[in-house]
Structure formats: structure tokens, C-alpha cells
């Protein structure tokens, strides 16, 4: 090889690398949408529901990967459903502020969900706080008044490839996060906070879903920290701190005669502190096709836990109208 060729070969390599890099950048473009550009107001007083939905629709209709950005501030939001099927292959919602429910619990109380994602693939939620203003509804229920059931704070239904990272959920009216009919869900660094006596405020409820990871999260609530319902397969729970709350539960199960089972559940290196239960399996005493198999509870630490391990085949929480026991 001539000296001239030796001099120019490295430049050919550099040019080739530049073309490859340009090709990568051109195919990974992300279109950004700031909710302020769609009319959202970060003052905690102005209803920004429509602005958030407009930002979602714009991102959903894009053929690029998209980023919806929520700057610092407080955003008042009513009940919203973010629906697919979207053209965008990946929608990331980056929240640097706080999303607030209306102070009047009746505004959300009759809705099933506050914020829901339905039939969406490739959505990620990063950071932020969700304040559902639940205590006024809890007080209503404690007084035995005519109260609405309340709304789940964050719901995912029939979604694929979902990521939740660094989110805080505060004072949900009902369940904090529900994962229903989903595949490939990764939850990490989530903080869930509600009073120890708050009713039905499960931290994370999973059902009819496959391949779910819940990692490095803290859950303080008035019901199950994590509850696993029928039709759940391949769930990995790792380094979760639970308490106060009712522990990590499989169930309740056997509500219906025909019911899908729960299988391949691993709970690893969890810490329970001041909880009613640690690890629990709770089927009703009814005939059912449901089952539980492939469950591993490993390396859990329990401090001041009333019932460290519970397998209750006669589950009937209030001892009212209980089915025939087995």
C-alpha cells in the first residue's frame, strides 16, 4: 500500500463514522411538545385539562418519537383519558411539576380514573408528582355519608411497553396505580404516599398483565402496597419498601367461577415496616378455575409486622355474607 493510501485511509473511516452518526440522528428524531404552548397554566388554579389533551393528541398523531414536557408549576386537571392507537412509536411524558386534582372530591369521585392511558404502546412517564387530594373523600367515607367510590389516580389498560420512572403519587382517592391488561411494564423509583388509615388506597394493583417489573420503590398507604389480581403472569418485585399498609398480596382471587390464574411471581429483597401483613395470598372460599403457582418470596425483611406470612383460603374481609368455607 502506498504512503498516499495510508494517509487517506483514516479519513475514509472518519467520514464513514460521520455518515453512520448522521443516519442514526436522522432516524431517532424526537418532536417536543410543551404543555404551556397548548394553553396549560402552571398556577394551580386554571383548569388545564383541555391543554394537556391537546398536547397528547399532537404527540399521538406525530410519526416521530415525541416528548410531552410539563415544566415546573402546579397544574389543575380533571379526569382525562389518553387514548391510542398512536402513530408515534414512543411518547415520553417528562413532568417537572405537580399535577393536581380539584379540591372538591366530587369532581373526580364518580369517575373510575383520574388519569388513564388506554390502548397505547411505548409510553413513558418520567418524574413529577400527582396530588389527588384524597383526604376529604376519606373523611366522607369515615363519616358513613353518601360518598362516591373515588377515582384511581393513574390507570393503564391494554398498553404495551410502558415505563414509569421517578413518579410520586400522593393521597389517591382510591388505588394509586392500576396496570390492567398490559404487557411489558417497568416501574422504577416510584414513591406512593397515603395515610395508613386511608381506605382502598392500594399502591400498585396488577391484573390480567404479563411481564411486569416493580423495582426500587417506596409505598406507604392504607391498603395493599402491591396487589396482584387474576391473570397476572411473570411479575418481578425487587427492593420495594412497604409500610404502612397491608403488605404485598396475591388476590383477592376466586371471585368468579371461571378465572385466570396467577403464576411466576417473584418478590425479592423487600422491606416491610409497620404493616398489617407481609406476604399474603387471599382467595375467597368459592369454586373457581383460578390458581396460584410459581411464587417465590425471597430475602424479605420485616419490622413490626402483625402477620408476616398469610395464606388465607377463606378470605372474607368483613365477615359478612361469606361464601361456604373450604
- And the C-alpha cell for 217? 420503590
223 is catalytic: yes
Active-site residue (options: 131, 202, 223, 312): 223
What is the layout of strands, in order, in the sheet containing 277-283?
Answer: 80-83, 113-118, 152-157, 177-180, 204-207, 226-228, 248-253, 277-283, 307-311
Cell 424479605: give the residue: 300
Active-site residue (options: 205, 224, 246, 312): 246
176 is catalytic: no
Query: Largest alpha-carbon pair distance within the chain?
Result: 93
Long-range pairs for 27-31 at CB < 8 Å and ≥24 separation? 28/65, 29/64, 29/65, 30/64, 30/65, 30/66, 30/67, 30/92, 31/59, 31/62, 31/64, 31/65, 31/66, 31/67
Residue pair 138/199 in contact (Cβ under 8 Å)? The answer is: yes
∠ CA 95-222-139, rounded to 5°? 90
Residues annotated as part of the active site: 223, 246
Amino acid at each position: 500500500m502506498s504512503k498516499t493510501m495510508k494517509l487517506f485511509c483514516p479519513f475514509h473511516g472518519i467520514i464513514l463514522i460521520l455518515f453512520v452518526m448522521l443516519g442514526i440522528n436522522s432516524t431517532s428524531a424526537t418532536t417536543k411538545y410543551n404543555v404551556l404552548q397548548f394553553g396549560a397554566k402552571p398556577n394551580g388554579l386554571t383548569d388545564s385539562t383541555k391543554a394537556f389533551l391537546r398536547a397528547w393528541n399532537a404527540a399521538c398523531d406525530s410519526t416521530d418519537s415525541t416528548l410531552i414536557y410539563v415544566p415546573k408549576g402546579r397544574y389543575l386537571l380533571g379526569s382525562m383519558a389518553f387514548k391510542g392507537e398512536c402513530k408515534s412509536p414512543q411518547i415520553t411524558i417528562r413532568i417537572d411539576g405537580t399535577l393536581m386534582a380539584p379540591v372538591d372530591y366530587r369532581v373526580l369521585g364518580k369517575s373510575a380514573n383520574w388519569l388513564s392511558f388506554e390502548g397505547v404502546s411505548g409510553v413513558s412517564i418520567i418524574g413529577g408528582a400527582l396530588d389527588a387530594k384524597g383526604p376529604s373523600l376519606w373523611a366522607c367515607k369515615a363519616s358513613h355519608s353518601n360518598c362516591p367510590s373515588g377515582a384511581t389516580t393513574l390507570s393503564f389498560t391494554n398498553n404495551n411497553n410502558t415505563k414509569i420512572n421517578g413518579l410520586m403519587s400522593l393521597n389517591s382517592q382510591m388505588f394509586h396505580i392500576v396496570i390492567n391488561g398490559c404487557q411489558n411494564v417497568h416501574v422504577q423509583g416510584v414513591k406512593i404516599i397515603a395515610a395508613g388509615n386511608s381506605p382502598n388506597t392500594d399502591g400498585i394493583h396488577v391484573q390480567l398483565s404479563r411481564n411486569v417489573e416493580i423495582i426500587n420503590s417506596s409505598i406507604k398507604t392504607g391498603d395493599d402496597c402491591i396487589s396482584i389480581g387474576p391473570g397476572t403472569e411473570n411479575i418481578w418485585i425487587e427492593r420495594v419498601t412497604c409500610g404502612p399498609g397491608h403488605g404485598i398480596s396475591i388476590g383477592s382471587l376466586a371471585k368468579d367461577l371461571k378465572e385466570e390464574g396467577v403464576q411466576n411471581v417473584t418478590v425479592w429483597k423487600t422491606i416491610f415496616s409497620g404493616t398489617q401483613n407481609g406476604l399474603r395470598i387471599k382467595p375467597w372460599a368459592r369454586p373457581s378455575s383460578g390458581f396460584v403457582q410459581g411464587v417465590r418470596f425471597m430475602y424479605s425483611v420485616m419490622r413490626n409486622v402483625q402477620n408476616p406470612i398469610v395464606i388465607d383460603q377463606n378470605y372474607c374481609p368483613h365477615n359478612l355474607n361469606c361464601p361456604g368455607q373450604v
